[in-house]
Homo-oligomer: A and B are copies of this chain.
Amino acid sequence: MLRSLIQKSPSSIFHLNFNLRSLRSRVMNTQSFSSTVSPPSKAIVYETHGQPDAVTKLVHIPGTEVKENDVCVKMLAAPINPSDVNRIQGIYPVRPEPPAVGGYEGVGEVYSVGSAVTSFSPGDWVIPSPPSFGTWQTYIVKNQNVWHKVNKGVPMEYAATITVNPLTALLMLEDCVTLNSGDAIVQNGATSMVGQCVIQLAKSRGIHNINIIRDRPGVNEVKERLKDLGADEVFTENELEVKNVKSLLGGIPEPALGFNCVGGNSASLVLKFLRHGGTMVTYGGMSKKPVTVSTSSFIFKDISLRGFWLQKWLGTDKAEESRRMIDRLLGLVQDGKLKYKMELTPFHDFNTALDKSLGKLGSQPKQVIKF
């Protein structure tokens, strides 16, 4: 368990029963022909799938060769996303085989570059784009193609988190249904990071947005915060236990598009708001309950349902397009038009960040590890 290991000396941690053979052999092989080796790295590793607080360990990894097309990056920050947790649990469809380093996105500073690398210089900020496995470590060496240089004018926690959630929000708003200024969308899970981004990105395009949140303590404060971001309407699920939810819309048109990251009753509420011919896109299932739809919604209301998965979209030869979109998103961050709640937690407090991400300490902002 990380909790106890972290107390131990680096040398004892290094000799843990963790399969580092491949990493070690890499370093040994390189000594004959490489001039550059990365600094040793500290990494959050899991040897087997299981509950993240049971199977993750802090491990010291020796330096690795920086080949001619490689870039060695000193990581600055990386988030703990729900999909990271699911990869460790072994329930995410695309995942590395353990032993593996946790994490999928993040930002770092170029530490050194291979002899053939001309596009990056030490000090540049870079993100893996498309994201790739193993961002929860202090140094990463990967081919230059993996890295995308980003604007240093944004806080590191935004550069670290710009892909998985904000890009999902942007793509769902742009790729699923053609929306024009004056149209409306509806979403549940509106306080999630994607939810917060959807509100701001919709507002920037003049698209009305209707938001559904869980009933919770301090709900008025949450509503105010979302309205400050640009939410037109925010309803709790209980407030929508009315005969005709559309009577609550006032002057907002019936939404053509809905986003669901909750499932169960909350998804049904999204469907209730949709206009004839509307589409609901499911990108998460926080309640762990399925989506239930009446026959008449399909036949007489002509509702369509589909899903969105960033990893699939990124897998379809969209590397260049996604980098342009990320630059756009970071531009919005720099202009103060895109913000979301996060908490930077130092790497040595990884356990706390993980506990918060696992919901053990109640509702918490997105945890971002600062290396």
Contacts and interface: CB of A to CB of B under 8 A. Distances in A.
Interface string A308-321: 11001000000000
Interface stretch (A195-203, A297-305, A332-340): A297-305
Interface in A285-306: 285, 288, 290-306
A93 interface: yes
A280 to B, nearest CB: 9
Contacts of A309: 299-300, 302
A307 B290 CA distance: 19
Interface string A252-272: 000000000001000000000
Contacts of A293: 290-293, 305
A301 B298 CA distance: 20
Given A304-B305, A305-B305, A294 B299 contact: no
Nearest to A302: B307
A297 B292 contact: no
A60 B300 CA distance: 34
Given A290-B293, A291-B293, A304-B306, A298 B312 contact: no
Please state the number of chain copies in the assembly. 2
**A284, A295, A299, A308, most chain B CB atoms within 10 A:** A295
A282 interface: yes
Contacts of A288: 295
A136 interface: no
A283 interface: yes
Contacts of A294: 285, 290-291
Contact of A283 (B283, B291, B299): B299
Contact of A291 (B285, B292, B301): B292
B307 A312 contact: no
Nearest to A92: B300
A298 B306 contact: yes
Contacts of A297: 307
A291 B292 CA distance: 6
Contact of A284 (B283, B290, B299): B299
A288 to B, nearest CB: 8
Interface in A226-240: none
Contacts of A296: 93, 285
A290 B303 CA distance: 14
Contacts of A263: 295
A302 B312 contact: yes
Contact of A307 (B292, B303, B307, B308): B303
A309 B299 CA distance: 5
12 contacts: A93-B296, A282-B299, A290-B292, A291-B292, A291-B293, A291-B295, A292-B293, A299-B307, A302-B306, A302-B307, A303-B306, A304-B306
Interface of A: 93, 263, 282-285, 288, 290-309, 312
Instruction: List 6 A-B pairs, minimum CB-CB distance, nearest first.
Output: A285-B295, A298-B307, A282-B298, A305-B305, A299-B307, A304-B306
